[in-house]
Amino acid sequence: MKRAVSGVQPTNNLHLGNYLGAIKNWVELQDQYDSFYCIVDLHAITIKQDPKVLRQNVLNVAKTYLALGIDPNKSTIFVQSQVPQHAELAWVLNTIAKLGELERMTQFKDKASQHKENINMGLFDYPVLMSADILLYDPEIVPVGEDQKQHVELTRDLAERFNSAYSKTFLVPEPLIKKEGARIMGLDDPSKKMSKSATSANNYIALLDSPEVAAKKISKAVTDSGSTIESGKDKPALTNLLTIYSLLSGKTIKEIEKEYTGKGYADFKKGLTATVTEFLSDFQAKFNALDDNEVKSILEEGNKKARAIAEKKMVDVKTKMGLI
Ligand code: AQP
C-alpha cells in the first residue's frame, strides 16, 4: 500500500481551514493509503507555549482527528516528540539544507514578522524538521493546504540531494493539494489565509466554537460589492464563503449559486450558518464523547508503530553517512 504522511500543530484551536484544506482530505485518503497523521508538537514550540496548555492541545488535536473521521484502525495517529528520529533526521538534513533556501520560506518570513521578540533558530529550521517528519516514512503523497507547498518542495529537494550524495535512501514525495479548500481565507480579510494565530477571532471559525459564536462570525464576515450570490475572481470574500458552504454541504458551488438566485446576502448567510452549525454540532458531539484514556492509548499505539519505521530509516541514513 502506498503511504501518506501529514500533520497539524497543536497550537490554539483548529479551524475550518485546517479541516477543509487538510484533515478532510486525510479522511478520504485513509482507505487507499497507509496513512500516518502526526501531531507536530516540536513545531509548536517554535512559538512560545504554556506547557500545560500544550499538553492539553496535543490531546485535543488527537481527539479532533478522531472526531473528524480519522480511524485508528486504518491510520496511524502519533505525536512527533515521541519519535526521537524526527529531531535526529532534522539535524542530518540541516547539514545539506542551504541557508539561502531557508531564507526564502514565506512562512518563516510571516512568522518572524509576527513574533519579532522570538525569532529563534527552531522557527528558521521549521521546514527542515518538516522534511524529516515526511522523509522518515517514505510517503508517496503529503496531503496539505496550499500554504505548505513550499515546504514540501524543499522536502523533495532535500530528498534528491541526499539520495544523490549517499545513494537512494528516501522516496521523493508529491504534495497533494486539492483545488477546492486548499486556501480557506480569513472571514475578516479574504486576502489572507484563515489562521489559528490571527489577531482577531473573527478571522476564523474554530472547530470548537459554539454554533452561536460561529453564527456571529458569519454575520460579521466581510462580503464583496454587488448583491448577487456568485463566485469569481473579483469576489474573493463571497468565493471563500461559497467554498466553505460547498465543502461542508457536499453541494457544488454552481448548485448553491442557483439556490440563491434572486436572493441576497442575508439569505445566503442564513443558509451558510445552518450548514456550519450542523457540521460543528456533529463534530463537537463526537469530540466530547471521546475518553481521554482511550485517546492516550491510541496515541501510544501510534507512537510505537511510527517509531518502528523511523528507527529503521535512521539506521539506513546513519550507515550510509558513516555514522555507525
Ligand atoms: N487557511 C487554510 N486553508 C487551507 N488549509 C490550511 N491549513 C492551515 N491553514 C489553512 C492546513 O492545515 C494543516 C495544518 O496546519 P498547521 O497547524 O500545521 O499550521 P499552519 O499551516 O501554520 O496553520 P495556521 O492555522 O496558520 O496555524 P498557526 O496560526 O498556528 O500557524 C496544513 O496542511 C495547512 O496547510
pLDDT tens digits, one per residue of 128-183: 999 999 999 999 999 999 999 999 999 999 999 999 999 999 999 999 999 999 99
Domain ranges of the chain: 3-177+292-321, 201-287
* Ligand 1 centroid to residue 22 C-alpha, Å: 8
pLDDT digits (tens, 9 = 90+) for 255-311: 999 999 999 999 999 999 999 999 999 999 999 999 999 999 999 999 999 999 999
Residue 197: the pLDDT is 84
Ligand 1 probe mutation, 14, 19, 43, 148, most atoms within 8 A of CB = 148
pLDDT band of 97, cuts 50, 70, 90: very high
* Ligand 1 centroid to residue 92 C-alpha, Å: 26
Residues within a 6 A CB radius of ligand 1: 8-9, 11-12, 17-18, 21-22, 144-145, 147-148, 182-184, 193-197
Q: What is the mean pLDDT of the chain?
A: 97
Q: Which residues contact 247 (CB under 8 A, 6 or more apart)?
A: 20, 24, 180, 181
pLDDT band of 225, cuts 50, 70, 90: confident
Residue positions annotated with a catalytic role: 111, 193, 196
Q: Does domain 3-177+292-321 have CATH number 1.10.10.10?
A: no
Q: Please check the confidence at residue 91 and state whether its pLDDT lies above 90.
A: yes
Query: Which ligand 1 atom is nearest residue 44's CA?
Result: 30
Q: Please check the confidence at residue 324 and state whether its pLDDT lies above 90.
A: no
Q: What distance lies between CA 152 and its chain's CA centroid?
A: 13
Q: Please check the confidence at residue 227 and state whether its pLDDT lies above 90.
A: no
CATH class of 201-287: mainly alpha
